[in-house]
Amino acid sequence: MTASRPIRVLVAKPGLDGHDRGAKVVAAALRDAGMEVVYTGLHQTPEMIATAAVQEDVDVVGLSILSGAHMTLFPRVLQLLREQGRDDVLITGGGIIPQDDMDALHLQGVGKLFGPGTSTSELVRYIQDWFAQRQRQEA
């Protein structure tokens, strides 16, 4: 994919979940695909994530949630970004999220969510396709 600029992605681990190996693998795969990646580290609040997303002027926020708090954390990050005028940011992510919850989050404006075992190439393709579509709409 050719883009006029690199896709900027913030990868974050909200909440108390201390397992970040998957988030680090995703961050590395996105970097390898030519994206600029900011990894916030563990134990981030939605406020910290939204603030970092605005400060870093990212296109995408990827949340990794294994704690079961996805129905609270995804909507909160989305709300905070919208309040700061950044409703153009794709919120995506993954973790242990039942399909019914994925569907409910999608209806609220969250992008595609990925479960355990998803190939990183699928995630990379999804972000690249989303970004290319957004670029076409802005042109």
State the Cα–Cα distance between residues 59 and 115, nearest whole angstrom: 22
What are 47-87's pLDDT values in tens digits?
999 999 999 999 999 999 998 999 999 999 999 999 999 99
CATH of domain 8-134: 3.40.50.280
State the Cα–Cα distance between residues 17 and 81, nearest whole angstrom: 22
Listed by start position, the domains of the chain span 8-134
Residue 30: name the closest of 48, 10, 46 by CA. 10
Question: What pTM, to 2 d.p., does this model score?
Answer: 0.95
Amino acid 9: pLDDT = 98
Amino acid 120: pLDDT = 96
